[in-house]
Amino acid sequence: MNNYIRCSYNSCKHNNHRDEMHLITHWQHFTPGASIVGGILIGLASAMLVVFRGKIAGISGILGGLISMDSSANSHRLWRGLFLMGLLSSSFVYQFFAPLPESNISASLGTLILAGLLVGFGTRMSSGCTSGHGICGLSRLSLRSLIATISFMFSGFVVCYLFLHVLKMS
């Protein structure tokens, strides 16, 4: 049995030429067990934050509350700081149990900064980030979070299509 499947499609039928994109799935790197355990841990952590603190595990809200100049948020600085330290240190801890996945970022520093600013703008515009809306909001059956998550996903699909197929950037 092959260790991968190869898919292709014809995206330029109207131009009488073939523009193919190949998707290769390497089954030896497919880890449903680790994915399920990770999903359960994210769900448990989000539920614990709601139950014990009454807060949503939206990263942008946690970071925003930590760096806000509002003095009323002082009582929340400790748990917000610990949450973010745990988030940032998780890769360091993970490497003691398994090798870190290879990361290859081919974008320039300017592109990364622009992308970060656009994500920050979108986060403020939608009153939350993908973790707040997609994980916590959907689990609370929030219509606003459902609309936000659909908007995030649709926008991602459109941007990927434009970059890969219209602008031919990969």
pLDDT of residue 147: 92
Which residue(s) pair with 25 in the sheet?
5
Instruction: Encode 78-94: b = buried (16+ Cβ within 10 Å), e = exposed.
Output: ebbeebeeeeeeeeeee
pLDDT(13) > 50:
no
pLDDT of residue 143: 93
Each domain of the chain, given as residue ranges in start order, spans 33-103
Query: How many helices (H) and strands (E) are present in the chain, helices listed first?
Result: 7, 2
Whole-structure pTM value: 0.66
Question: HSE (CB half, 13 Å, CA atoms) of 21?
Answer: 11
pLDDT digits (tens, 9 = 90+) for 36-94: 998 899 889 888 988 888 888 888 888 888 887 676 656 778 888 898 999 899 889 98
